[in-house]
Amino acid sequence: MTQLDSLKQFTTVVADTGDFKQLGVFLPTDATTNPSLILKAVQKPDYAPLLAEAVAKYKGRPLDEVCDRLIVRFGCEILSIVPGRVSTEVDARLSFDTAATVARGKRLIEMYASEGIAKERILIKVASTWEGIQAAAQLEQAGIRTNLTLLFSFAQAVACGQAKVQLISPFVGRIYDWYKKTAGAAWDEAAMAGAKDPGVVSVAQIYNYYKRFGIKTEVMGASFRNVGQIVALAGCDLLTISPDLLALMAASDAPVAQALDAQAAQSMDLAEVKMDEAAFRFALNQDAMATEKLAEGIRGFVTDAIKLDQLLLAA
């Protein structure tokens, strides 16, 4: 049994890629995309025809619609390979606009429906700002499932749980990056590995809290830098993993032990937390890492969304 097969005993494995031609190799259950992954994919020769097709088919339509059509086309291709769900992201430029996020999420679902894809197979991906979380709550009430991304803090996770979102994507690797960069020369890689990795610690705290208080929101660890981080979260509801790391695990027979356990979490002595807007904003303000990484993540996705727009205009 490979290390990847061992992980699948405890956790639903999700492929973190827009390159759908790689998916058949690793047999993930679900797949996730984001603007950066789609941008990376459409610049490969294999996928250039999809971009050209979207431009030709929807010529004269607003640019944001053409972009969403292209993203939905990738989602449809992915869903022809994976048996489960695909996460499709709302334009990051709408991260602080609740009404616009709701409207865009509903439009994406309509676009998938026009391609014969049921909404149950789609997760609308939204940044975990206060406005994004409120938009997700509205989408969930309308029967549209959501994936709250760019999640770096316990406060964000609590607010998402209260909003009854389907799934959250806490970013393990980006948390790790921040603490490593901040520590500089004082960083001790060995001492901060595995279960002590700050990104792993964050996801484990969220997972245990959700299970302790019966919160149904799924936890999907994301943004991994190494296999050790993945193995340290075996047992998490889902883990979304890049093709490079999936390949490393598929080539290894190293054992994987369950690290997170829902039943064990139910007996933990934890305090329940309530999070209104004021408490959320204050908690996020007090967490320099989460504040910086959330802003940086949104800026990065916006940059790539603009580049994708430019590719569509130039096609």
Give me the active site residues, please.
125
Query: Distance (Å, rounded) from C-alpha 178 to C-alpha 255?
Result: 29
For residue 281, what are its two tokens? 């904003």
For residue 189, what are its two tokens? 């890689």
In 142-276, which ranges are continuous DSSP H helix? 154-162, 172-183, 198-212, 227-231, 243-250, 262-265
Query: Distance (Å, rounded) from C-alpha 213 to C-alpha 230?
Result: 24
DSSP 234-260: TTSSEEEE-HHHHHHHHT---------
Helix (H) / strand (E) containing 148:
strand 146-151
Backbone φ and ψ of 216, nearest 5°: -80, -15
The secondary structure of the chain in percent helix, strand, coil, rounded to multiples of 5, reads 55, 10, 30
Helix (H) / strand (E) containing 219:
strand 218-221
Query: Distance (Å, rounded) from C-alpha 223 to C-alpha 69?
Result: 26
Contact 175, 199 (CB under 8 A): yes
CA nearest 84: which of 14, 135, 152, 35?
14
Task: Specify the DSSP class assigned to residue 122.
Answer: E
User: How far is the CA of 114 from the CAs of 66, 82, 196, 246, 292, in angstroms?
Assistant: 15, 19, 46, 32, 38
User: Residue 143: how many CB atoms within 10 A of its CB?
Assistant: 9
